Amino acid sequence: MSNGQNSSITTRNIVTVAILASLGGSLSTFVGYLGNLINLSLGVPFGAGQFMAGLHVFWLILIRVIVAKRGTGTMGGLLKGLVELFTGSTHGLVIVAVSMVQGLLIDLGAEIAGTPHNNSNISRLTWWLSAGVAAASNVFVLQAFYFSGAHWILLTVIALLAFCSGVIFAGYFAWETLEFLKDSRVLSNSFSSTSPFPVSRKRVTYRNLPAIALIIFITVGSLYYTVAVAQVFSDPYSCKVTGLVENPYTYSPQAFVGQEVTVQAELQGVNIHLDPANYTGILLSTILEAAIPMAETTGVRIVARDGYTILLDLDEVMTDTHLLLTEVEDGLWLIASNYDGALWIRMVITLEVY
């Protein structure tokens, strides 16, 4: 049983997965309650509850380590999700998806970490990191369902909160729990030999110090990276030029220095009126010309970061000398002085010729 990764799954294994998934599902209301308490104590309506996200992954880690067979993480995640679905979780089927993705990530992490038998700090670190990643994944799955269009900085912050929660509760605390369970002798025969940690009376904290230090390093590092460095790569002042063009490219104002045009424009919306002002930027026709639209193309689809999309006639665009992309704090704006206010677009990210 020492390296039971591939041996067939026993009734005891199945029962263990089912019982832990069931308990995890049962306690998810309690976890939600704790999350609400934290929201309340911080005075925010939601979000801080993500600090409890790791407690959902906690069960999957327990399952994967205790049963120690390939795929039990996913199985546990699926089961826990189904249990929550059947008890009327407010997120319905979505919770099954969230939970199963978490299980899958844990299984993946377990593969990388090697046998739970392996006692090295690297192995433990891998487990803890995959716990963090699994906890953070819920943010992205939920985002895909409900918060599409959310700003990436917001997402990153919440995901990082969930990640830390995963490392703390599904990593550190899960290890403490495993040690406790072993000590309580409730995990009989089969588990004792596949223990992921040495038998020692030293406190969990001290033994895990190197892992904790590394995790802190990685967390702080990735925070720094996302806030400071990543911004350079996902430049808000850039926009893809694609579709039926000979030369698709990513537009950035720096490449067109010297070709700026300044126009005076006035926004005339139903409920908004912006007084005539001067806008400087690159004409849309200049940008599209650089991509060389193919013959027989008729229009251009302009897409904003929030999904807003408009269609313009290509011929009109190419002859319009007042239609330009200008740089504003939050990205590229389409200044469409000859058009209705609804066609002034903020945060343009794609120009697609069709």
Contacts of other proteins in 143-182 (CB under 8 A): 144-151, 169, 173, 177, 180-181
**Residue in 7, 111, 119, 183 binding other proteins, rule: CB under 8 A:** 183
Stretch that binds other proteins, among 86-94, 122-130, 290-298, 319-327 (CB under 8 A): 86-94
Q: Is 10 among the residues that bind other proteins (CB under 8 A)?
A: yes
Residues in region 116-145 near other proteins by CB under 8 A: 144-145
Distance (Å, whole) CA 128 – CA 167: 5
Distance (Å, whole) CA 161 – CA 156: 8
Stretch that binds other proteins, among 123-131, 207-215, 269-277, 314-322 (CB under 8 A): 269-277
Stretch that binds other proteins, among 20-28, 114-122, 256-264, 315-323 (CB under 8 A): 20-28
Least distance (Å) between residue 259 CB and other proteins: 26
Least distance (Å) between residue 75 CB and other proteins: 7
Of 110, 100, 170, which is closest to residue 135 (Cα–Cα)? 170
**Residue in 199, 228, 257, 270 binding other proteins, rule: CB under 8 A:** 270
| Element spanning 178, H or E | helix 173-183
**Residue in 189, 234, 247, 278 binding other proteins, rule: CB under 8 A:** 189
Q: Is 110 among the residues that bind other proteins (CB under 8 A)?
A: no
Q: Is 88 among the residues that bind other proteins (CB under 8 A)?
A: yes
Distance (Å, whole) CA 54 – CA 138: 10
Non-local CB neighbours of 32 within 8 Å, separated by 6+ positions: 49, 52
Distance (Å, whole) CA 98 – CA 91: 10
Token pair belonging to 115 = 């046998």
Angle at the Cα of 72 (from 68 to 74), degrees rounded to 5? 140
Cβ closer to other proteins: 15 or 209? 15
Q: Which residues pair with 273 in a beta bridge?
A: 268
Stretch that binds other proteins, among 104-112, 212-220, 226-234, 264-272 (CB under 8 A): 264-272
Q: Is 187 among the residues that bind other proteins (CB under 8 A)?
A: yes
Residues in region 26-55 near other proteins by CB under 8 A: 26-27, 29-30, 34, 37-38, 41, 45-46, 55
Residues in region 285-314 near other proteins by CB under 8 A: 304, 306-308
Distance (Å, whole) CA 197 – CA 195: 5
Non-local CB neighbours of 166 within 8 Å, separated by 6+ positions: 53, 54, 57, 131, 132, 133, 134, 135, 136
Least distance (Å) between residue 309 CB and other proteins: 9
Least distance (Å) between residue 89 CB and other proteins: 8
Buried b (16+ CB within 10 A) or exposed e, 129-165: bbbbbbbbbbbbbbbeeeeeeeeeeebbbbbbbbbbb
Least distance (Å) between residue 242 CB and other proteins: 15
Radius of gyration over every alpha carbon of the chain, rounded to an integer in angstroms: 27
Cβ closer to other proteins: 16 or 208? 16
Least distance (Å) between residue 345 CB and other proteins: 5
Q: Is 188 among the residues that bind other proteins (CB under 8 A)?
A: yes
Q: Is residue 137 a contact partner of residue 53, using CB atoms and an 8 Å limit?
A: no
Non-local CB neighbours of 114 within 8 Å, separated by 6+ positions: 123
Number of residues lying near other proteins (CB under 8 A): 76
Distance (Å, whole) CA 238 – CA 326: 11
Q: Is 92 among the residues that bind other proteins (CB under 8 A)?
A: yes
Cβ closer to other proteins: 213 or 311? 311
Q: Is 75 among the residues that bind other proteins (CB under 8 A)?
A: yes
Distance (Å, whole) CA 135 – CA 215: 15
**Residue in 11, 234, 254, 278 binding other proteins, rule: CB under 8 A:** 11
Q: Is 87 among the residues that bind other proteins (CB under 8 A)?
A: yes
